[in-house]
């Protein structure tokens, strides 16, 4: 390893080749309907070199921002690592984002370029005029450039050199950008730096038990932090071979992958595991999972029933892990070597010091619910919210980062998730802002008011429920419900689509006009509405 | 044929892509954005526009667009 070289792109590729792993499989790409393809660490190095050279040729500089907007595919990895080699900040976008979600993220970040697919161009074209800084849209499945902006990725890659000297990159050079939702305002750009890989590597080893002999399948999409921290950075910094599967959820197909690819470490999400739990046991019994050593989960609390199911049907524990986009890597977890307490978040990872604090920053006693906070001092911590450093500064008190989650610590040091201290919705492991959905609904001429809440859901952990008051002249109908659902799905994201859409005569607000989501939630769940003295007349 | 064209229009609307061409063998893996949540949007839209209802059991048997199209045809012809 080069002394003081912190470059994630370099360490995931060239360093592995220099360590003698050039011919080792970095990942086996399994598309849903074609023959699997192996990519070695040498392939990963050369392809990412080519992409770094493309960015150089396009004039991108250190600190410029570039986004990937792709479904799972090999190009995702080449572009991500190539951008990081070039010291360009690389953001990743969930492939089901709609126009509004894209505009918020690409506009706020002032992104210079984006790589995407032909089928997503319609969304990009609808917003491109509102993105003055966007110069280049590289398309992975067109053969010819369309103009000076819409360029053919295959053509540029074919012409690019596969040699690239990665600059010596300092620990604090900005690296990865993920946007995360809050309960108010637009999504915020969570910026990390290259030294994040130190904690990502450490937790890959100490929690996920990764070493060079393992075969990892992390099912997370690269649009989210788990997909970059543990689907790219952690494992490839350790020379670990991965499986990347391009198909959708399918119990049979997933278990075929686990069995045939001899996956040893599987990192997935509670929603997916709960969907598997619905299947007949016979589905799993025909597959040989003897190579599988450990199963890990992330994204939302793992209910004890899933752990029991796994032990009964798969003969394996499932270890729940907890972290956030902001923390960049696992903070608290269940893991091999400690006793699992089903339903708990587990215990802190070595070097991480969580605390349960009251709103004023004072510690509360064990067994008492409070704000889950983390004492500063780990390498994968984000360094700011892009363009919103004032919001970033407000996340700290007395040297602790306030996560926005509430939890309890028991007397044995295990942490137990209790909920959010704000209105953010965690559906299927993805955080959704009710504000984003409400704002999008208000763009429709039929909608006068809207209020969006989270409601408990057996499969998704929480589901999106929207209350809509229509303007005069419009009547509730099934066709209108479809229009609203599809509008949210295509403008924001499929994951933001309301599972329940309820037409109401009025959305409750307080006297200053703020939506009283607490009251909506109580009404939806049939619970006491509590203090409604501030409700407007 | 008319039903298939109507189904194509629904696919384009649900997945926000005017260039989708349906084939009987097509599955969720062939359409960008066809995940479990947008699948719910697809089914609700089909049921409303064709004025039909699928049972949970029927939904589980659909392996591709061909299965879906056949089921719509059967239900629409019964309703006629």
CATH code of A452's domain: 3.30.300.30
Residues A84, A8 contacting (CB under 8 angstroms): yes
Q: What's the mean pLDDT in A438-466?
A: 93
Residue A180 has pLDDT above 60, yes or no: yes
pLDDT tens-digit map of A469-527:
999 999 999 999 999 999 999 999 999 999 999 999 999 988 777 888 889 999 999 98
Q: How far apart are CA A334 and CA A462, in angstroms?
A: 22
3-state helix, strand, coil in chain A (%, to 5): 30, 25, 40
- pTM (predicted TM-score): 0.90
Of B29, B41, B44, the CB nearest to A248: B29
pLDDT truncated to tens, each residue of chain B (80 aa)?
A: 688 999 999 999 999 888 899 999 999 888 888 988 899 999 999 999 999 999 988 888 888 999 999 999 998 887 66
Note whether residue A99 is domain-resident: yes
Q: Which CATH number do you get for residue A123?
A: 3.40.50.12780
Predicted local confidence at residue A235, as pLDDT: 98
Predicted local confidence at residue A210, as pLDDT: 98
Least Cα separation, residue B63 to chain A (angstroms): 11
pLDDT tens-digit map of A383-404:
999 999 999 999 998 899 999 9
Chain B positions touching chain A (beta carbons under 8 Å): 13-14, 16-19, 27-30, 32-38, 40-41, 44-45, 48
Residue A134 has pLDDT above 90, yes or no: yes
Residues A428, A413 contacting (CB under 8 angstroms): no
> Residue A346 corresponds to which tokens in the numbers above?
């587990």
Outline where DSSP puts E strands in A195-313: 215-218, 241-245, 265-268, 294-297
Q: How far apart are CA A105 and CA A180, in angstroms?
A: 10
Cβ neighbours of A146 (radius 10 Å): 12
Last residue of a domain, one of A175, A194, A213: A194
Longest dimension (CA), chain A: 72
Q: What's the mean pLDDT in A365-372?
A: 95
Contact B32 A486 (CB under 8 A): no
Note whether residue A480 is domain-resident: yes
pLDDT tens-digit map of A30-48:
998 779 999 999 999 999 9
Note down the domain range covering A54.
1-194
Note whether residue A491 is domain-resident: yes
Helix (H, G, I), strand (E, B) or coil at A291: coil
> Residue A233 corresponds to which tokens in the numbers above?
């950075």
Share of chain A above pLDDT 70, in %: 99
Residues A428, A434 contacting (CB under 8 angstroms): no
Q: Nearest residue on chain A to B50, judged by CA atoms?
A: A479
**pLDDT band at A303; cut points 50, 70, 90:** confident
Last residue of a domain, one of A194, A220, A255: A194
Residues A372, A405 contacting (CB under 8 angstroms): yes
Q: Which domains does chain B show, CATH number per domain?
A: 2-79 (1.10.1200.10)
Note whether residue A202 is domain-resident: no
Least Cα separation, residue A476 to chain B (angstroms): 14
Q: How far apart are CA B21 and CA A173, in angstroms?
A: 45
Q: How far apart are CA A278 and CA B53, in angstroms?
A: 23
Q: How far apart are CA A219 and CA A330, in angstroms?
A: 16
Note whether residue A493 is domain-resident: yes
The answer to whether the Cα torsion of A230, A231, A236, A240 is positive or negative is positive
Least Cα separation, residue A397 to chain B (angstroms): 39
Predicted local confidence at residue A1, as pLDDT: 54
Contact B33 A122 (CB under 8 A): no
Contacts of B19 in chain A (CB under 8 A): 119
Structural domain count of chain A: 2
> Residue A513 corresponds to which tokens in the numbers above?
């006009």
Interface test with A, best of B27, B29, B34, B60 (most A CBs within 10 A): B29
**pLDDT band at A108; cut points 50, 70, 90:** very high
Predicted local confidence at residue A348, as pLDDT: 98
Residue A534 has pLDDT above 80, yes or no: no
Helix (H, G, I), strand (E, B) or coil at A44: helix
Residues A41, A16 contacting (CB under 8 angstroms): yes
Give the side-chain half-sphere CA count within 13 A for A208: 36
Contact B35 A248 (CB under 8 A): yes
Contact A485 B44 (CB under 8 A): yes
> Residue A325 corresponds to which tokens in the numbers above?
């986009």
Q: What is the DSSP letter of A407?
A: E
Contact A489 B19 (CB under 8 A): no
Q: How far is CA A51 from the centre of its chain?
A: 23
Looking only at the bridges linking them, the beta strands covering A396-397 and A400-409 are antiparallel
Contact A117 B18 (CB under 8 A): no
Contacts of A489 in chain B (CB under 8 A): 14, 37-38, 41
C-alpha distances (whole Å) from A28 to each of A40, A43, A116, A215 are 9, 12, 21, 10
| Partner residues linked to A348 by β-bridges | A332
pLDDT tens-digit map of A150-177:
999 999 999 999 999 999 999 999 999 9
Contacts of B17 in chain A (CB under 8 A): 119, 122
Note whether residue A470 is domain-resident: yes
Q: Whole-number mean pLDDT of chain A? A: 94
Of A120, A247, A482, the CB nearest to B29: A247
Note whether residue A128 is domain-resident: yes
Note whether residue A3 is domain-resident: yes
Q: Which of A323, A523, A287 is nearest to A417 (CA)?
A: A323
Q: What is the DSSP letter of A346?
A: B
Of A32, A122, A485, the CB nearest to B17: A122
pLDDT tens-digit map of A48-88:
999 999 999 999 999 999 999 999 999 999 999 999 999 99
Predicted local confidence at residue A453, as pLDDT: 95
Q: How far apart are CA A383 and CA A375, in angstroms?
A: 15
Last residue of a domain, one of A147, A175, A194: A194
Q: Nearest residue on chain A to B34, judged by CA atoms?
A: A248
Contact A485 B30 (CB under 8 A): no
Of B37, B44, B48, the CB nearest to A494: B37
The answer to whether the Cα torsion of A328, A331, A335, A337 is positive or negative is positive
């Amino acid at each position: 390893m080069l002394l003081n070289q912190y470059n994630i792109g370099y360490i995931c590729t060239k360093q592995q080749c220099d360590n003698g792993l050039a011919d080792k499989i970095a990942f086996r790409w399994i598309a849903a309907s074609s023959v699997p393809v192996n990519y070695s660490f040498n392939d990963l190095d050369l392809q990412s070199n080519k992409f770094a050279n493309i960015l150089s040729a396009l004039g991108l500089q250190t600190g410029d921002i570039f986004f990937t907007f792709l479904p799972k595919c090999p190009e995702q990895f080449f572009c991500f690592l190539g951008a990081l080699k070039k010291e360009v900040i690389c953001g990743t976008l969930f492939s089901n984002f709609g126009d509004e979600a894209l505009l918020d993220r690409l506009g706020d970040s002032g992104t210079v370029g984006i790589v995407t697919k032909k089928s997503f161009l319609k969304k990009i074209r609808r917003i491109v005029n509102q993105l003055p800084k966007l110069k280049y849209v590289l398309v992975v499945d067109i053969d010819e450039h369309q103009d000076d902006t819409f360029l053919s990725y295959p053509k540029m890659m074919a012409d690019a050199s596969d040699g690239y000297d990665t600059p010596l990159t300092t620990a604090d050079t900005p690296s990865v950008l993920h946007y995360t939702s809050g309960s108010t305002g637009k999504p915020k750009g969570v910026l990390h730096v290259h030294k994040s890989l130190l904690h990502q590597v450490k937790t890959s080893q100490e929690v996920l038990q990764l070493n060079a002999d393992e075969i990892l399948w992390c099912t997370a999409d690269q649009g989210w932090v788990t997909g970059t921290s543990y689907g790219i950075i952690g494992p490839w910094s350790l020379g670990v071979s991965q499986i990347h599967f391009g198909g959708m959820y399918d119990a049979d197909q997933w278990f075929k992958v686990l069995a045939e690819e001899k996956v040893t470490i599987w990192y997935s999400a509670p929603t997916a595991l709960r969907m598997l739990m619905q299947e007949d046991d016979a589905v799993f019994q025909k597959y040989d999972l003897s190579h599988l050593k450990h199963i890990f989960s992330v994204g939302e609390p793992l209910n004890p029933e899933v752990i029991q199911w796994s032990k009964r049907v798969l003969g394996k524990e499932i270890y729940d892990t907890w972290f956030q986009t902001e923390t960049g890597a696992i903070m608290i977890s269940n893991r091999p070597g400690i006793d699992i307490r089903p339903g708990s978040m587990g215990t802190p990872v070595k070097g991480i010091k969580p605390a349960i604090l009251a709103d004023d920053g004072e510690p509360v006693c064990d067994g008492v619910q409070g704000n889950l906070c983390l004492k500063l001092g780990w390498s994968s911590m984000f360094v700011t919210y892009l363009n919103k450093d004032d919001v970033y500064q407000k996340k700290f008190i007395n040297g602790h980062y306030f996560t926005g989650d509430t939890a309890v610590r028991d007397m044995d040091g295990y942490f137990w998730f209790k909920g959010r201290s704000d209105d953010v919705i965690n559906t299927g492991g993805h955080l959704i802002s009710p504000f984003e959905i409400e704002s999008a609904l208000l763009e429709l001429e039929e909608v006068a008011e809207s209020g969006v809440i989270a409601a408990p859901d057996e499969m998704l952990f929480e589901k999106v429920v929207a209350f809509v008051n229509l303007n005069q002249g419009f009547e509730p109908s099934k066709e209108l419900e479809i229009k609203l659902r599809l509008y949210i799905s295509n403008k924001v994201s499929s994951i933001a689509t309301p599972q329940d859409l309820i037409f109401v005569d009025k959305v409750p607000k307080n006297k200053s006009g703020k939506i009283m989501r607490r009251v909506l939630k109580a009404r939806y769940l049939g619970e006491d509405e509590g203090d409604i003295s501030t409700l407007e007349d | 044929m008319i039903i298939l064209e109507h189904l194509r229009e629904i696919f384009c609307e649900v997945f926000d892509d005017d260039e989708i061409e349906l084939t009987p063998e097509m599955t969720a893996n062939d359409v960008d954005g066809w995940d479990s949540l947008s699948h719910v949007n697809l089914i609700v839209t089909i049921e409303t526009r064709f004025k039909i209802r699928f049972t949970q059991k029927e939904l589980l048997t659909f392996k591709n667009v061909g299965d879906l199209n056949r089921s719509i045809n059967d239900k629409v012809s019964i309703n006629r």
